[in-house]
Homo-oligomer: A and B are copies of this chain.
Amino acid sequence: MNVELVTIGDEILLGKVINTHIAYIGSKLARIGIPLSRQTSVRDERGALKEVLAESLERSDLVITTGGLGPTTDDTTKTVLAELFETKLARDEAIVRDLRERHGESLSAIVLTQADVPASAFVIANSVGTAPGFIFEKGDKRAVALPGPPNELKPMFEDVVLPKLEAERKGDLFVERMFRTIGVRESDIEERVGKMLQGLPGLSYGLIAHPYQVDLRLYCTSPSQQEANEILRPGEEVVEAEFGKSIFTRDDRSLEEVVGEMLKVNKKTIALAESCTGGLIAKRLTDISGSSAYFEGAFVSYSNRWKENLLGVSGQTLIKHGAVSEQTAREMAENVREKAHTDIGLSVTGIAGPTGGTKEKPVGLVYMALADGRTTVARKFNFRGDREWIRYRASQAAINMIRDYLLKVE
């Protein structure tokens, strides 16, 4: 089954919002073995929209659209699809009643147009907003029209569209294995396993580079899950043998989720002392619900005064070695651990840039340390990139230091 996504709206192409529909719908479809083959964004302009939808329907079995279902004049998805599927709009009295219930006396003629639905289409109720969605069908072509706001789209997609597609899915399965690695370069992975993976029949692979993280995916299409497993197994063995402990997860979890789970299982608590990352590591660890089981808190000691007066880094150390130094990182980690009475103290200090670098201490220089009361390990990094990337890379490397530590404890 060939599926395309068409995301509709000026706001997408003018860069006013980040298009999260592609990742959301793409990942949900991939998980049931129907990868998206193409995605197009088009403006709120009737002619352009009709052209895009006609082309997509020509190429594929199913077109999913997002946006352009509202009651305002720039919303034309419903009428354009009705034309392409050769059906007419007719007022749906059930929707009229529902709108009257929600809006009461204030129901306007504009909002009421949402009750005009394509006669031959299946209507998907919208439990959050007022614009219903639709499933159009004609011969072997189908289109699913969903509203743009993610909180309206998601329940409609998950409760109606996805189960329907999963039940009807026929033909080959798309099966995938994910290996998320940390601290290994993309080109290293290619060199170490590329040739071997290319030699395996029926198997494809792909690499996705994130800051300080590379995801390696093995995938194949196959008539049965069992056959797919047989195709993928030799590839999995190659990857496991070569990268072993650099693989932090074999699913879609984030590093902070995996490390949070490890802290919980090992019954270890942690406190942070962050300088250049400015709270990013604490933010990432507390993105995870339930993190209060292992996360005590953090000092975001951005200034030297804070490092000295509140975190207790010695004035001598700051003067002699500077705030960005292994010695300061060590004291930060040891002190925060002691002050917070946790098992682990973790610190990061560095120069995120773009200013503040010197010849001896350039932008991107970051020290981090992990203290457990017996020993303190420190590491030095030279990260490349802009402020955002340096900070994010540093947060990755720091969270990975917790992982390395817990792997040795286990």
Contacts and interface: CB of A to CB of B under 8 A. Distances in A.
Stoichiometry, copies per complex? 2
Interface in A39-59: 39-44, 48, 52
A89 interface: no
A294 to B, nearest CB: 10
Contacts of A121: none
Q: In terms of DSSP, what is the predominant structure of the interface of chain A?
A: mixed
B17 A190 contact: no
Nearest to A189: B72
Given A190-B72, A297-B300, A354-B289, A18 B20 contact: yes
Contact of A40 (B40, B387, B391): B40
Interface stretch (A79-87, A201-209, A222-230, A397-405): A201-209
Interface string A270-300: 0110100111111101110111100111111
A208 B302 CA distance: 34
A128 interface: yes
Contact of A41 (B39, B210, B300): B39
A277 B284 CA distance: 10
A70 interface: yes
Please tell me the size bucket of the interface on A: 35 or more
Interface stretch (A21-29, A159-167, A313-321, A374-382): A21-29
Contacts of A15: 22-30
Nearest to A27: B15
Contacts of A274: 279
B303 A296 contact: yes
Contact of A208 (B16, B71, B215, B339): B16
A213 B389 CA distance: 26
A300 B342 CA distance: 14
A296 B287 contact: no
A264 interface: no
A13 interface: yes
5 contacts: A10-B217, A73-B198, A149-B209, A278-B283, A287-B391
